[in-house]
Structures are given as structure tokens and as C-alpha cells.
Amino acid sequence: MENFVVSARKYRPSRFDTVIGQEHVVQTLKNAIKNRHLAHAFLFCGPRGVGKTTSARLLAKTINCTNLSEDFEACDQCDSCRAFNGNASFNIYELDAASNNSVDDIRGLVEQVRYAPQGAQYKIYIIDEVHMLSAQAFNAFLKTLEEPPPYAKFILATTEKHKILPTILSRCQVFDFHRIKVDDAVKQLKKICESEQITAEEEALHVIAKKADGAMRDALSIFDRIVSFSGNTISYSDVISNLNILDYDYFFKSTNMLSNEDLPGSLLLFDEILNNGFEGQHFLQGFAEHLRNLMVCKHPDTTKLLEVAPNIAGKFAQQAQSCSSTWLLNALNILNQTDFNFRQSKNQRLHVELALMKLCNLQRAITLTGVDDKKKSLN
Ligand SMILES: [Zn+2]
């Protein structure tokens, strides 16, 4: 663990090929480089932690590389690449508009634009969180963006595209970055495990990827945290206890009990969950997600929406068989309502217990009202 470098930095992509989950962006950028048809301004939009700034830097490095590879990647060896990799490039400027958003900050940058690049083809300006620029700063920037010198390239990045003025938008080639899919994040975590000689249970990596909610950067920082906690072996149980996540086994058990009208069993199980330090709402939300997962297993077209480790997917498919779509839909409704009213409830424990009682009687209610379940699909 000596000289520990956070994974987000250590495994930051250094080639377009290693950018995760943004193939559509990489392909378009590479084509533009190949055809020498570069826009003079780019706008990278998308949620946080998905590789916008990394891609901006890669683009900057690549278009100034004097020795591009056959597949249009930077060589990492020419003067320009070496200067870039050593953070010493005179031709690439980065401005974080979150902390430098005044008109003076932008004026400083605009001043720079007048001078031609040194020893490279382009001067590149990366402005992160560009939506944070003040209105005045935006206006000062607009003129430069309208008539930039041929050697200047602007790469703007934002998490909030809707806050960008239409006058700016219309002058940029816009790229929409996607959230990182759980599977893609897991793949990347597996690679890191391999090169760091860490053994990890696949379910453990899935939980980390899921928790990161589409941001690779978050997945990596959670991963680092778990590694510093559990060393070179990462187990599912370590991860869920570290992240304070309810074991999916609880939800499989609850579903079984409730669909078999085992009220005592489900109340006792909920008691156990509370005793383990989890909140009632935590259980409600986790349970709703579990039922949602069972619901997507009901139809072959939607099973791909199930974001769990492959070895658990089978368990979901099996349990989905034993629950009718009508039961699942009504159960989800009850859980949703209970979650919605949870904060207002004076007795939150009873509030959840009441939901469990309703769920326990659900099958009977469905049978009584004669709603059948011939259509075993989502509609
Ligand atoms: Zn190079």
C-alpha cells in the first residue's frame, strides 16, 4: 500500500481505446481527427464522473501529437505528448469554471488566445463546468468563440447542458456522454483487480458498480475505500457491510414469505433488519428495487434491464416464476406508497409493518377480485 495512488488517477485512460462506455463519442472524435475535420469548439455534456474531462484532455493530446498511430491515437512519445503527459504543455490550458468564473478569469484566457501555439499545431482551451461562468464571463467569451484564430480549439464540459446559452450551444459540436453501465464498470473494476492482484467476488464488484450510479469515478473511489478496508480479497459481505447495503438475501426471503402469506416470518425478518442497524425506509426502497427486478425478469425483452451479477440473475429468474405480474405490480404500488408517506409517519416501524401486512394479504385480495394473470407480461 506504499505510495498509494487513487485508482481514478492511476487508471485514467491514456488512449481513446480505454475510455469506458463512451464509444459513440470516441468514434466520432476519431473520425474527425482522421478526416481532419475538427470543429473549433466542442461541448462535452453528461453526468459527473463519466469521463468528460478525461476525454477532453485526450482530445487535446491527440490533435497535437505529431506522430499519430494508425488508429488515430496519440503516440505518447513525441515532444508534444511528452510535454502533455508531464503536465508541462504550453499549448493546453485548463480552466475550472466552478472556481474561476469571473469575467477577469475569462479575459485572462481570451488574452492568451491571441498568441500562436509554440511547437504544436493547436492551442487548446479546456473549460470545465462551463455552465458556472457568470453571465458577463459568458459574454466576454462569446466573441472569442465566434471568431477564433485557426489554431485555437475550445473544449467545454458541463454537467448541465440546459444552462448553456443557445448562442454558445450553436457554436459547438455537442457530445452527450452516457452514464456508465453497471456491466462496463464491473469490467473495468475486474481489470484493475487483475493488475493489482486483488481477488474479488463478482457480486462484490457489482454492488460497487451499482452504488456508483453511473459514475466511473465514484466506482473507483468506492473500490479504493473497500480495498483499504479489506485488503487484497474483496468479498460480497465485506462490501455490503462497508457500504451499509442490505443483503439481497433478505429480499429473496421476504418475497418468499409474503407471497406464501407468512406474516409472522416476514415481521420477524423485518425486526432482524432493524436490529442490524438499517432504517425502515432503506428496507422499503431495497425491497421495491428487488420486486422491480423480478418484474423485468417476467419478459425476455426486459431481462437485460436486470443489473445484477450473472450468478444472481438465475435466482431472480427463478423467483420471478413464482410471483404473478399482478402480485408484483400491486406489491410495488404498496411499497411505493409506503415509501412516499414514510417521513410523515409518526410510527415508522408500524408504518412498514402495516405495508408487510397488506402485502401478506395481497394474494388473497387478488384472488377475491378475480383479477387473473393470463397476460404474463409487463403491460
Ligand atoms: Zn505524440
The Å distance, Cα 156 to ligand 1 centre, comes to 23
Mean pLDDT of 269-293: 95
Which range (48-52, 94-98, 362-366, 369-373) has the least confidence? 369-373
Count CB atoms within 10 A of the CB of residue 57.
20
The Å distance, Cα 17 to ligand 1 centre, comes to 15
Which pLDDT value is given to residue 375? 46
Q: Is the pLDDT of residue 97 over 70?
A: yes
Which range (24-33, 201-210, 365-374) has the least confidence? 365-374
Which pLDDT value is given to residue 140? 87
Q: What percent of the chain has pLDDT over 90?
A: 74
The Å distance, Cα 123 to ligand 1 centre, comes to 15
Mean pLDDT of 254-266: 95
Q: Is the pLDDT of residue 377 over 60?
A: no
The Å distance, Cα 64 to ligand 1 centre, comes to 7
Q: List beta partners, residue 199.
A: 233
The Å distance, Cα 310 to ligand 1 centre, comes to 41
Grid coordinates given for 186: 464491473
The Å distance, Cα 62 to ligand 1 centre, comes to 7
- Alpha-carbon distance of 70 to 64, in angstroms, equals 15
Mean pLDDT of 1-24: 85
Mean pLDDT of 199-213: 94
Neighbours of ion ligand 1 (CB under 5 A): 65, 67, 74-75, 78, 81
The Å distance, Cα 277 to ligand 1 centre, comes to 54
The Å distance, Cα 167 to ligand 1 centre, comes to 34
Q: Which amino acid is located at 322 in the chain? A: S
The Å distance, Cα 72 to ligand 1 centre, comes to 10
Residue of higher predicted confidence among 155 and 2 = 155
Residue of higher predicted confidence among 370 and 200 = 200
> What DSSP string describes 306-357?
--S-HHHHHHHHHHHHHS-HHHHHHHHHHHHHHHHHGGG-S-HHHHHHHHHH
The Å distance, Cα 236 to ligand 1 centre, comes to 42
- Domains annotated on the chain, with CATH: 7-176 (3.40.50.300), 182-242 (1.10.8.60), 248-369 (1.20.272.10)
The Å distance, Cα 273 to ligand 1 centre, comes to 56
Q: Is the pLDDT of residue 332 over 80?
A: yes
Residue of higher predicted confidence among 102 and 198 = 198
Q: Is the pLDDT of residue 19 over 90?
A: yes
The Å distance, Cα 32 to ligand 1 centre, comes to 17
Please state, rounded to an integer, the average pLDDT across all residues of the chain.
91
Confidence of residue 378 (pLDDT cuts 50, 70, 90): very low
Which pLDDT value is given to residue 125? 94
**Cβ contacts of residue 265 below 8 Å, gap of 6+?**
257
Q: Is the pLDDT of residue 88 over 90?
A: no
Residue of higher predicted confidence among 23 and 310 = 23
Q: Cα separations (Å) of 120 from 59, 70, 117, 349? A: 14, 20, 6, 66
The Å distance, Cα 73 to ligand 1 centre, comes to 8
Which pLDDT value is given to residue 3? 61
Which pLDDT value is given to residue 371? 61
Q: Is the pLDDT of residue 318 over 70?
A: yes
Mean pLDDT of 276-295: 95
Which pLDDT value is given to residue 307? 84
Which pLDDT value is given to residue 227? 94
Which pLDDT value is given to residue 61? 95
β-strands 152-158, 123-128 pairing: parallel
Which pLDDT value is given to residue 1? 46
Q: Is the pLDDT of residue 128 over 50?
A: yes
Which pLDDT value is given to residue 295? 96
Q: Is the pLDDT of residue 162 over 50?
A: yes
Sequence length of the chain is: 379
The Å distance, Cα 353 to ligand 1 centre, comes to 64
Mean pLDDT of 102-106: 88
The Å distance, Cα 114 to ligand 1 centre, comes to 25
The Å distance, Cα 82 to ligand 1 centre, comes to 7
CA nearest neighbour of 173 among 148, 147, 153: 153
The Å distance, Cα 184 to ligand 1 centre, comes to 28
Q: Is the pLDDT of residue 353 over 70?
A: yes
